[in-house]
Structure 1
Amino acid sequence: MKTLNNHVILFDNECPMCYAYTKAFVKTGMLAEDGREAYQQMPDHICPQVDRQRAANEIALVNTENGEVSYGIQSLFKIIAHAMPFFKPLFLFGPFVYLMRKFYAFISYNRKVIIPAAVKANSIQPSFKLHYRLAYLLFTWLLTAYVLTAYAHLLTSFVPLGSPYREYLICGGQMIFQGSIILFYKKGKLWDYLGNMMTISFAGSLLLLPALLLGECLSMPGIFFILYFLMVAGLMFLEHLRRSKLLKLGWIMSLTWALYRLIVLGLIFSV
């Protein structure tokens, strides 16, 4: 692969995903050893034309010879196309570029709730885009509920099956329940909290997939699936505690998160 020399990519050092993939660019030789810098510590001489807020929203790639700056998906396209030129026609195909630009924005504007990290004092944070957060909440809600609906069939020895829409109502209801509480508790953290909460739910549903696949292939006792589900729920609770600490929310949101699940379980068995 050809190295893109005389270019520096400016990544967010508070974003584990950004740190990982820009480091991969250097390790694979797509960028030179000195081809990445955190925008939080960006030297002034790199490029005075860099829009620092836009660089926080969309990763910036700076040509150190002529000062040209590209942002977001175009930065990634430029690196990949230089290393692997056979991708160039694809990166010039309008519909593909449009879809990838939207996908990149969907991830970038939600990255702080996908993999959160402690925020350093006085650092520039990405802008908040409500429509991308709402899209993320919808995406995680539908996929989480879909997996839980499938997994519910493995728990019928212990939990009544219910309607096909039960898990969708439970997942959606939790957003309303927790959202109502945080509106009174810490209104300014509403969208960050909901994004983190739904990431936990989505991660939990992904952890259920191995057991779901196992249930499709082998005949296993129902106790295995209920114990596995409880283990995943325990891990989700621990992650909820960790993320609540990062958001400086204390214990209250984790307690109400658990309370909602207990209320739902009681209602399921009472029907």
Structure 2
Amino acid sequence: MNTLALEVRHLSFGYRGGQTVLHDLNLTAAAGSITAVLGPNGAGKSSLLHVLLGLHRPWGGEIRFFGRPLSAYDRRSLSRTVGLVPQREHVPFAFRVEEYLLLGRSPHLGLLAQPTAADLEAVDAALSRLGIAHLRRREVASLSGGEHQLVLVARALVQGAAVMLLDEPTAHLDLGNKHHTLALLRGLAAEGRTIVLTTHDPHIAAYLADQVLLLRRGRLLFGGPPQEALTDERLSDLYGVPLRVVQVENRPCVLPR
């Protein structure tokens, strides 16, 4: 039996003074699996990731990582277990990329401790794996949107968390870097990391995911294998426009009707 890395039961959430954003969500993700959360703008995809990480308190329900309730983790132990790759992050100081990546080692360092040789090696390995070693001395604030996105993924690698939550990780990438990043995520899952990512693009979900969650207005319309989730009827219902799915070299391609 596969170990469950993530269990979500009857999760609900909303912002103060507003409407409910997430309605009674249930999902599980096995260790080493890739889950794609697919939905239109305003579906609640980013909010879901933030609630899973404990950045927002849910209104109801339960979240468990590796069988342990989210509430049982302190901030340091949670950061060792779960990492978030946001779409973009404001960096208020003039960090160089290599310094910024070292922040990912914070959960593994004691208070005021200096980075070890192993920490520096983790930074070097992440830069190499993302193909961005040439950016190491650039200031983060000077990076393009795509470069910044690659650096955020690299920081998650440096962090070494068993579960990675990625908010539209390819949204700002060109085709080459998109392909490289998707291949990287596949490799990380093969190594045992659990990947949960949000996307607007059903082609990414089809290419990458073991399971696809269709989310609209905070409600889970369907969860299951890509071949069952990515159908004409379900995608048309999800996006509110008539769509059809055709097979091109045994891969689904979504087209307008």
Q: Normalising by the residue count of structure 2, what TM-score does the alignment of the two structures yield?
A: 0.32
Question: Hey, which of these two has a bigger chunk of strand by percent?
Answer: 2
Question: Hey, which of these two has a bigger chunk of helix by percent?
Answer: 1
Q: Which has the higher contact order (CA 8 A, sep 6+)?
A: 2
Larger radius of gyration, structure 1 or 2?
A: 1
